[in-house]
Amino acid sequence: MTAYLITSVSVVGAAPTDLLIRDGVVAEVGPGLSAPDATVVDGAGLVALPGLVDLHTHLREPGREDAETVESGSRAAALGGYTAVCAMANTSPVADTAGVVEQVWRLGREAGLVDVQPIGAVTVGLAGERLAELGAMADSAARVRIFSDDGHCVADPKLMRRALEYVKAFDGIIAQHAEEPRLTEAPRCTRVRSPPGSA
Amino acid sequence: MHEGEVSTRLGLIGWPAVAEEAIIARDVLLAEHVGSRLHVCHVSTAGSVEVLRQAKTRGVRVTAEVTPHHLLLTDERAETYDPVFKVNPPLRTAADVAALRAALADGVIDVIATDHAPHAVEDKECEWAYARPGMLGLETALSIALDVLGPEWDLIAERMSRTPARIAGLTGHGVDPAPGVPANLTVIDPAARRTIEPTELASRSRNTPYARMTLPGRIVATFLRGEPTVLDGKAIK
């Protein structure tokens, strides 16, 4: 594993110093470091921050690999300074089972550019009707802790209550796309109305 | 788009701010009632900020995010009818933008999150009504934060790394570079300025709302557990 010496870099805005990276960790921080085996990165005028973390990323895989893949989105993230992204559940199929979240998690590992942490759906198919397999996703290799129907609001208050209660057992979070659907629905004049009595 | 003066003038159907605020108000009460953790995605209105402020004052376990685009752009962008500016929640007014910036600074909003939403050309380059909502964000977020917040590095680290890592429970991320911590870090040139060219982005999609805008800051290097993923501003693989 190559070592890297970043010289004269400002760590989170502080006075310039040197950073030595070795064996996956920050090995040393201080002025005037020397490491003959290290690749030198001139950090003069630059700022080092802890890698950025995105709580809300759509990677589109599985389902819309023409728009983005876990790999292309991971590359975009790394180029943006990110080291971890949370992948939203509105893929096709929806990330509402352990199988799908593990697939996304594994694709992230294989791309190896950022840590991809899958978010699980709150409801089956994002349909807002019944809870998805929250516990199975939490127990999966992806260790899901954030659940969201993003793109859709969990509009049913009883379902939202149950979801909040359920994830409390493992200190999970419900990430809500807050949009009351009755207040954003298209005007009735543009919709085809079913005749009375039809299913 | 946002329901307001601009939507009325353009003849586009608007989504009112209250559609967002009503759900946040309900959900903070539900989270308080059951004692659970709630996170609010892409907060976009001044009214939402006030609901969150009151909930946090009461001790409700709620966190909230704002997107880069809601910190910079307003509903007036829709005047071009260019669906690249169609996003959910919609771009709001200048007063909303000001409230979101203030809330980010004072901590009512905890996190900047991108809502990076790639869309294929056929889903974006069409009539406004048929376009999918969403914008790219990953490759421009730090530049927008720098533009909006200035070189407030501690605040940027807090809102874009430490706090989101803590909310997601991602140990090893969101930790300032110090001896012994995992080398997950990024190196930024704050003096650089770059003009955004959609075709130069690494995303498979092109729907950036910042096309041909010149933004401050450039990512020079990114390290994931000590291995560079970006060096000299270029992806390693």
Does some domain include residue B198? no
Residues of B tagged active-site: 115
Residues 117-146 of A with CB under 8 A from B: 117, 145-146
Return the CATH architecture of domain A52-178: Alpha-Beta Barrel (3.20)
Question: Which CATH number do you get for residue B159?
Answer: 3.20.20.140
pLDDT lower than 50: segments of chain B:
none
A80 at interface of B, judged by CB pairs closer than 8 A: yes
Q: Which of B42, B65, B168 sits opposite A117 (nearest CB)?
A: B168
Q: Which of B120, B138, B226 sits opposite A23 (nearest CB)?
A: B226
Rounded to an integer, what distance in angstroms lies between the CA atom of residue B229 and that of residue A76?
Answer: 11
CB B139 within 8 A of CB A74: no
Does some domain include residue B212? no
Q: Which of A22, A73, A146 sits opposite B39 (nearest CB)?
A: A146
Taking residue A58's Cβ as centre, other Cβ atoms within 10 Å add up to 28
Mean pLDDT of A57-83: 98
pLDDT digit string (tens) for B81-118?
A: 999 999 999 999 999 999 999 999 999 999 999 999 99
Residues in chain A: 199
The interface predicted TM-score (ipTM) is: 0.98
Residues 5-34 of A with CB under 8 A from B: 6, 9-13, 19, 21-29
Does some domain include residue B224? no
Who's near A90: CB < 8 A, 6+ residues apart?
A: A58, A121, A126, A149, A150, A151, A152
B141-158 as b/e: b if 16+ CB within 10 A: bbbbbbbbbeeebebbbb
Rounded to an integer, what distance in angstroms lies between the CA atom of residue B187 and that of residue B228?
Answer: 11
A83 at interface of B, judged by CB pairs closer than 8 A: yes
Range of the domain at B156: 5-176
- Total domains in chain B come to 1
What residues of chain A lie within 8 A of the CB of B89, using their CB?
A: 179
A164 at interface of B, judged by CB pairs closer than 8 A: yes
Nearest chain A Cα distance for residue B108, angstroms: 16
Using pLDDT thresholds of 50, 70 and 90, give the confidence band for residue A186: confident
Does some domain include residue B209? no
| pLDDT given at position A188 | 63
Does some domain include residue B71? yes
